[in-house]
Amino acid sequence: MMIKKGNVIICVLMLFVFKAPAQKSEKKLYKLILLNGDTIYSDKAAFSSNPYFLPLKAGSDTIWKRVIAPHEIAFNSKNYTNAIKLIKGEINKYPWYLYNYQQMAFCYSKTQQYDSACFFLLQGLSLNKSDVAAVLSDPNLQQLFTTPAFLKIEKKLVEFEQLTHPDKPGYLNYTLYKVLQSDQYIRQLHFNYSQEYGAKSVKIDSILKCMALIDSLNLITVKQLIKTYGYPTDLMLTEYSRNTIFLVLLHSPLSVQKQYLPDIKKLAKSNKIKKAHYAYMWDRIKVMEGKKQKFGTQVKYNDLKNCDELCPIVSMKKVNMYRKKYGMESLEQYLAHYQMCK
C-alpha cells in the first residue's frame, strides 16, 4: 500500500477543518499558541529564529530553558534507546500529539524492534486518522513499511484512512471526535494558564483570542454536519461524540444558540438526545440575554473574589425539581464541582 500526501505537518492541536479565512494576525496568534511550549526545538538557533516566538522574546535564555526538550536532544543525537524512554513520558503528557508516536516508531525501527514500532504507530494514528496518508509518506519510516510487522497493521490503517471520507461509514463520529479534541484542548490550556499565571495575564488574553478562532472553525464544521445529516441523535453517535455538537453550539454566538434551540428541545422531549442539553442551552441563552436562568447550569467567575458565583435563578425552591425532571443531579451536587464563593 502506498498513499502519498506531501510532507507531515506537525502541531500540537490539529483541527479537522480550516475553511474560514482568518486575519493574518489571528493566524499568527493561532500558530503562536499551538507552538508555545509544545513544539520543541533542540537547537537554540532554530528556536530563536522562529518568527512566531518573537513576541515572547525567544532569544532569552529563560524562555529557551523553559521549552528545551530532552527527548528531542536524545532523538537528534541518535541516542534512540534513551529517546524511547523520554518520548514515552511525552506521550503520557500529550497523548493526542501524533509526532511523538512517529518519533517512537522511528526509534524502535532503528533498534530493530519492529513490533513495538508498529504498536506505537497504530496507537498514534488511531487518534489522528486523518493523518494516515501523510505519515505513510514519511521517508524516515519507509524501512518500517517493508517489514512483516507492518503488514499486520496495514489493513487497519486503510480503515483509518477511509474514515476521513464523507461517503464512508464512521465519518460523522470521527469528524466530531476531532472537533471535540480541539474544543476541549484549548479550554484545558486556558484553565492551566489561569492557574499558573492568573486570570488577567496577557497569556490568557492570547488564549481567549485563539479559543474564539477555534470555536468559529468548529462551528463551521458542525453546521455543515447538521446540514448533511440533520441534528444527530444519540443512536447515530458513539458515546464519545454525543456531547460534541451540543458543546460547540453552547460555545457559539447567541443567535446560533437560538437558531438550534427548537431542534434541541424537540429531540430532548422525544429522548433522542439528553434532556440536560436543552436545560443547559435554555439557561445559557437566558443568561446571555441578561435574564434569570431556570436550571442553575450557568456559573460565572468573580475576578475580585477569585471564586465562582451562580448566575441568578428564577426559583431556588423549584430548581432541583426542574433539574430532576431533565435527568440532572441536584444543584448542590453540581456546584460541588466549582470553587464557589463563600
Q: How far apart are CA 296 and CA 314, in angstroms?
A: 9
Alpha helices of the chain — where are they, by DSSP H?
Answer: 24-35, 44-49, 61-67, 70-76, 80-93, 98-110, 114-127, 132-136, 148-162, 171-197, 202-229, 244-250, 254-269, 275-288, 319-325, 331-335
Answer yes or no: is pLDDT of 22 > 60.
no
pTM of the model: 0.56
Whether residue 282 is predicted with pLDDT greater than 80 in this model: the reply is: yes
For 39, 170, 281, 336, 342, the CA distances from 298, given in Å and listed in that order, are: 35, 33, 10, 14, 17
> How sure is the predictor about 167, in pLDDT bands with cuts at 50, 70 and 90?
low
Q: Which of 41-55, 135-149, 245-259 has the lowest mean pLDDT?
A: 41-55
Confidence of residue 35 (pLDDT cuts 50, 70, 90): very low
Assign 49 a pLDDT band (cuts: 50, 70, 90). low
Using an 8 Å Cβ cutoff, are 39 and 10 in contact? yes
Cell of 25: 494576525
Nearest CA to 129 among 154, 100, 98, 95?
98
Largest CA distance in the chain: 68
Q: 177 versus 291: which is more confidently predicted?
A: 291
Predicted pLDDT at 117 = 93
pLDDT in the model for residue 130:
66
Poorest-confidence range of 27-36, 260-269, 289-298? Answer: 27-36
Q: What is the mean pLDDT of the chain?
A: 78
> How much is the pLDDT for 237?
82
In this prediction, residue 241 carries a pLDDT of 79
Mean pLDDT, to the nearest integer, of 14-32? 39
**For cell 448566575, what's the residue?**
311
Cβ neighbours of 339 (radius 10 Å): 10
53 pLDDT above the threshold of 80: no
**171-175, 221-225, 284-288: segment of lowest average pLDDT:** 171-175
d(CA 83, CA 306): 42
pLDDT for res 254:
95
Q: What is the DSSP string of 250-298?
A: HTS-HHHHHHHHHHHHHHHHTTSS-HHHHHHHHHHHHHHTT--BSS---
The mean-pLDDT minimum among 73-77, 190-194, 314-318 falls in: 73-77
Of the listed ranges 2-11, 147-156, 160-169, 313-322, the least confidently predicted one is 2-11
pLDDT reported for residue 272: 93
Question: Does the pLDDT at position 316 exceed 80?
Answer: yes
Grid look-up 460541588 returns: 336
Per-residue pLDDT tens digits for 87-142: 898 888 778 778 889 989 999 999 999 999 999 999 888 877 767 777 877 888 88
**Helices 148-162 & 114-127 angle (0-180, nearest 10):** 10
CA 329, 332, 333 angle in degrees (round to 5)? 45
How far is the CA of 319 from the CAs of 250, 293, 294, in angstroms?
21, 10, 7
Indicate the pLDDT class of residue 332, thresholds 50, 70 and 90.
very high
Query: For residue 162, what pLDDT is reported?
Result: 66
